[in-house]
Chain A
């Protein structure tokens, strides 16, 4: 159990997962194992495959609960992700936000086969990670990403957004 938690945490770092997310999930796993096995000695003897399956099941339930909560929530404009950086005027910030929204809309218009790859790349995932998740070769990933980014730039250029816009 401890070894598995350590492994999940270690792997989670690579995916920029917060310790809090892992802790919450592993807590659920502990509760499930305690209910199923009772004594700590029995829990410590649980095979890794059993802990793994319990963890996947706990994670899926946790995600279901989070989905249900999200439907009831409203988006706050105080989201820290949209805070105005110090020294940036409100006008400039508004302009920048509009530009970001235009980029998001332009991404929406590129072909569906290339769009997820572009999104993943722009979200900061390296090409190897994209290839690994989709089970693609490096060449296929590179090709679709290149085409997707070209599509995106063409659409932005058509809207008058180019190099000079963000300098």
Chain B
């Protein structure tokens, strides 16, 4: 089943066209790694998918439902209620974690359950403990984000995303803000989620991780999908010149 169907997605910030027509189908259970140079629109693409940025043009279908309404040709209008329901079903993990600094780890995980789902505190707390346990942080439930390491913060952020039972998870460079020795613990958690068969879109610069975990790799350049395919093909035998150049730059300093 197609979970997500994106057609002709465009996004510009003033005169700056970031996305210039993205067509993307994501089936349930697919794990897609999105690669690309900085400024190629990777983050913007993810942010458009859960409407943290409003697409300038194009359509997004999620869970079999075409979102928004075309009131005038080429211009879609989105209703806040519909977007809230979509955002509830799409979990997002940010590069900078974006935990609520005034709440404990469990408070962060419980927040969505309590305010959006209207869950009772005790029930939400139980759920939060399950999710924190899954990312290996049950003992840090009462710690504030300032007292956690970067890797721990990111794992709390993943637990927070999981608590809402999302149908799709978006990871926006989840390990880019981490010290190298902390990257592993976060990738381990993401990999465990991949093994559960969750649908995920992952923007990353960890080519090795993308190779082992993704079912499909997308290379973005100039706001369009420049090349896509199975990881073996895109990462080992790219057909496009720019993909090759990008990969070569990445490997320049690797062992």
**Same complex:** no
- Residues of chain B having any CB pair with chain A under 8 Å: none
